[in-house]
Amino acid sequence: MKMTKKHDWILWSVLSNSNYLRALPMQVVEKQYDVVVVGSGGAGTSAAVAARDQGCSVLLVSKDPINCSDSKISEGIVTVRGSETDKDTETELSSNIRIQGDDIGRAEHARAFAEDSQSAYEWMRQQGLKPHFDESGKAKTLGMAMGGHTQSRSIDHANGGLDYAHALRQALTEKQNGHLDYMEDAWFLDLYVQESEQRISVQGGLIYHAADGVLVSVKAQAVVLACGGIGTLYFPHTDTMRGNTGDAYAIAARAGAKLVDMEQIQFIPFAAVNPPSHQGLIVGEPVSAGALGVIRDATGKVILSEIMARTRAECAAAIAQAVEEGRGTDHGGCYLDLTDNIQGASAEPFRYVMKTKAGSLLKVVRASMGSSAARFEVPWEVKPSAHYCMGGIATDENGQVFDANSQPIHGLLAAGQALGGLHGSNRLGSTSLAEAIIFGRRAGYQAAVSAPLNSGSDTNEKSVIEYYLSMLGRDGESYGIDITRALQKACWKFIGPARNEKDMSELKDSISQREQQLDDCHVSSSKYFNQSFIDVVEARNLLQCATFIVQSALSRKRSLGAHFRTDSRPDNLGKRPFSVQCFWESEGQLKIVHEDREASPVGARIKLRMQQGGKILMLKLLRHLPLGLRDKILIKKYAAAAGGLPKENVHEA
């Protein structure tokens, strides 16, 4: 009988709901593309589009629905060099990134970022991303330098990350010369690797397509890993999407890649502590503390002032130290006190700027701490929350991944948060959404020009497929999700915002025990949305990432940037900067090496520190001015930042 499409569909829905089909082993479906891109946030989408526009056939794989990612839930603030002043040169921006990251990042990455910052934003504009405009039609910035930036160069958007994600979606749907398919609810599991004495090459990989209940074995000339970060390792102390299980780092390392600076996890300093539903969610940035915001410990003592001129790392370290020394609140936090900002005639202008520039953060404040907190009348109880992984896969500035010997792994690229080497020890606010597009586009282009597959070569495809198939239907005492929950607690405690050698060594030992437990986990045999299978896959990646972080952190003996050690003093100023790098030497054996980095010129470092010192001094002076004069200065500043103030917000100072 000749079946129409409709008959096909009816037969399929009857079969797929029947016990008969469910009892069959999971099928392995074969596919071939020029390029596979893993992750559909800013980095993955722009990589996929760049490869498609080069005429490639591209498969975009995403475990979350397409474009659902940190990119979409973000504040949508993007660094664009020169957006406020022409004085903002490429040299200034790249030097700003490097020095604030303590020079442990790669100079090439910072240069590439500065070079492409404007063209990447222009590309997003072409996809429909709309900034606010001033009267001359120029895109408006926030009107102030975000913490650690030397210039005001951050552009915000009316609907935050939603606007950014809608532009990504637009880019995907455009018809161009290449061909792009996407696959949602699909977990990329591992890469197919071919190893010879000279080099490693990647030739595709294995995907679990949960919605179709099949494994997809896909061959490709290149794979771009753009899977975001590792925030879920610290859940519930994180503001990131749950899909951030460090898959890119774990998958790349299993394929022989080197990772850099994995001890550098950015903890955003100001996140809600309570109720549990809001715990970990971002409520502020250093810049949103206003000119007069301070951090207080639980006794009310000011532990850091002039917040606006500080980096995220400095603020998070101050809170972590107070908590560690027993001066934290019951929830393990401190207070962000913005009440001085509403003392005089500048109160309403301050509220107006906050409402227009940080409206979505204030919604979280209102929901978690109440309306008087959202009006800045009482201090906010806050604590740091895992936000971003500054370490990542070692690459060149085009996303080409390196192996343990710093040789390119043919056909493997990384972009966005998956890539390491840009931010060093501190990421400047608003640089990540720009980074995603800059390095996504570079990696997509690079993937497109990779040489095609060597036919007839042997990869580990068979053993990869067997490994995952053999898990299905396994009886076991424990569950992947329980291992993850226990690991999350331990990681927050031992490799969270405050660390010491003794605790980290303990964690290192406990990770090995949990890894053994993983082999004994129960995994159901079901094909569709097999959660127990996904839990084990993700728990394995999380455990491996915890190993990368703890061993890198143990090897960096002194505090530096986001890596705050309570058992040693900060790294000596003037010491040669180095990056901590790791790779699997053999199964279960992680090797840690240090690579020296070139320090930025002394003059540039002194200049930046003086600039920051100058800002701190100005803010200190401002605090001590008579109220009337202070209000006049502040109202002027707020008006400039907001591009004018509504009349009802301005009262005589």
For residue 147, state whether it binds ligand FAD (rule: CB under 6 A).
no
> Does 425 interact with ligand FAD (rule: CB under 6 A)?
no
- Per CB under 6 A, does 306 bind ligand FAD? no
Closer to ligand FAD by Cβ: residue 21 or 68: 68
Half-sphere exposure of 582 (CA within 13 A, CB side): 28
Cβ atoms within 10 Å of 27's Cβ, excluding its own: 11
Site for ligand FAD contains 43 (CB under 6 A): yes
Q: Which of 120, 220, 386, 433 binds ligand FAD (CB under 6 A)?
A: 433
Which residues 489-548 are close enough to bind ligand FAD by CB under 6 A? none
**Options 36, 39, 487, 508; binder of ligand FAD; rule CB under 6 A:** 39
Residue 428 is a binding residue for ligand FAD (CB under 6 A): no
Residue 69, interface with ligand FAD (CB under 6 A)?
yes
What does residue 83 show for φ and ψ, rounded to 5 degrees? -70, -20
Q: Give yes or no for residue 62 binding ligand FAD (CB under 6 A).
A: yes
635 token code pair: 């109202």
Q: Distance between CA 374 and CA 371 in Å, rounded?
A: 5
DSSP β-ladder status, 78-79 and 380-389: unpaired
- Footprint of ligand FAD on residues 265-294 (CB under 6 A)? 282
3-state secondary structure of 23: helix
Distance CA 147, CA 286 (A): 6
Residue from 63, 81, 410, 563 binding ligand FAD (CB under 6 A):
63
Q: How far is the CB of 164 from ligand FAD (least distance, A)?
A: 8
Q: Give the whole-angstrom CA distance, residue 194 versus residue 203.
A: 7
User: Does residue 278 contact residue 368 with C-beta atoms inside 8 Å?
Assistant: yes
Instruction: Examine residue 40 and tell whether it contacts ligand FAD (CB under 6 A).
Output: yes
61: contact with ligand FAD by CB under 6 A: yes
Q: Taking contact as CB under 6 A, which single stretch among the options 56-64, 133-141, 310-318, 486-494 is the one that binds ligand FAD?
A: 56-64
73 binds ligand FAD (CB under 6 A): yes
Using rule CB under 6 A, residue 388 touches ligand FAD: yes
Cβ 73 to ligand FAD, closest distance in Å? 5
Tokens 């204030």 sit at which residue?
A: 362
Site string for ligand FAD, 188-217 (x = CB under 6 A): x-----------------------------
Residue 264 contacts ligand FAD per CB under 6 A: no
The answer to whether 145 and 429 have CB atoms below 8 angstroms apart is no
Task: Name the residue nearer to ligand FAD (CB basis): 431 or 532.
Answer: 431
Nearer to ligand FAD, 71 or 203 (CB): 71
Which residues lie closer than 8 Å to 4 by C-beta, 6 or more apart? none
495 neighbors 504 (Cβ within 8 angstroms): yes
Of 436, 442, 431, residue with least CA distance to 155: 431
Cα 612 to Cα 255: distance, rounded to the nearest angstrom: 42
Residue tagged 């008006």 (tokens): 639
R_g (Cα) of the chain, nearest Å: 25
Q: In this chain, which of 144, 146, 210, 227 binds ligand FAD, going by CB under 6 A?
A: 227
Give the C-alpha separation, 364 to 370, whole Å.
Answer: 9
Q: Nearest distance from residue 422's CB to ligand FAD, in Å? A: 11
3-state secondary structure 182-221: EECCEEEEEEEEEECCCCEEEEEEEEEECCCCEEEEEECC
Report helix, strand or coil for 536: helix
Which of 190, 297 has the CB closer to ligand FAD?
190
Q: Taking the chain, what is the end-to-end CA distance rounded to the nearest angstrom?
A: 86
Residue 484 interacting with ligand FAD (CB under 6 A): no
Selected range binding ligand FAD among 122-130, 132-140, 182-190, 645-653, rule: CB under 6 A:
182-190
Number of residues interacting with ligand FAD: please give it, by CB under 6 A: 40
Name which of 280 and 344 has its Cβ closer to ligand FAD. Answer: 280
Element (DSSP H or E) covering residue 181: strand 179-183
If one asks whether residue 431 binds ligand FAD (CB under 6 A), the answer comes out as: yes
Helix/strand/coil (H/E/C) assignment for every residue in 29-45: EEEECCEEEECCCHHHH
Looking at beta carbons, which residue is closest to ligand FAD? 41
Nearest to ligand FAD of 232, 559 (CB atom): 232
Q: Which region, judged by CB under 6 A, interacts with ligand FAD, from 41-49, 509-517, 558-566, 603-611?
A: 41-49
**Are the C-beta atoms of 69 and 40 separated by less than 8 Å?**
yes
Q: How far is the CB of 630 from ligand FAD (least distance, A)?
A: 29
Window of 110-118, 413-421, 447-455, 475-483 that interacts with ligand FAD by CB under 6 A: 413-421
250 binds ligand FAD (CB under 6 A): no
402 neighbors 257 (Cβ within 8 angstroms)? yes
116, 39 Cβ separation under 8 angstroms: no
Interface with ligand FAD includes 416 (CB under 6 A)? yes
Is residue 142 close enough to count as binding ligand FAD by CB under 6 A? no
Nearer to ligand FAD, 250 or 635 (CB): 250
Between 347 and 386, whose beta carbon lies closer to ligand FAD? Answer: 386
Under 8 Å between Cβ of 143 and 152: yes
d(Cα 431, Cα 423) in Å, to the nearest integer? 9
Report residue 480 as tokens: 């992947």
Return the residues of window 94-123 that contact ligand FAD according to CB under 6 A.
Answer: none
Q: Residues in the site for ligand FAD, rule: CB under 6 A?
A: 38-44, 61-64, 69-71, 73-77, 186-188, 226-228, 239-240, 243, 247, 282, 387-388, 416-418, 430-433, 436
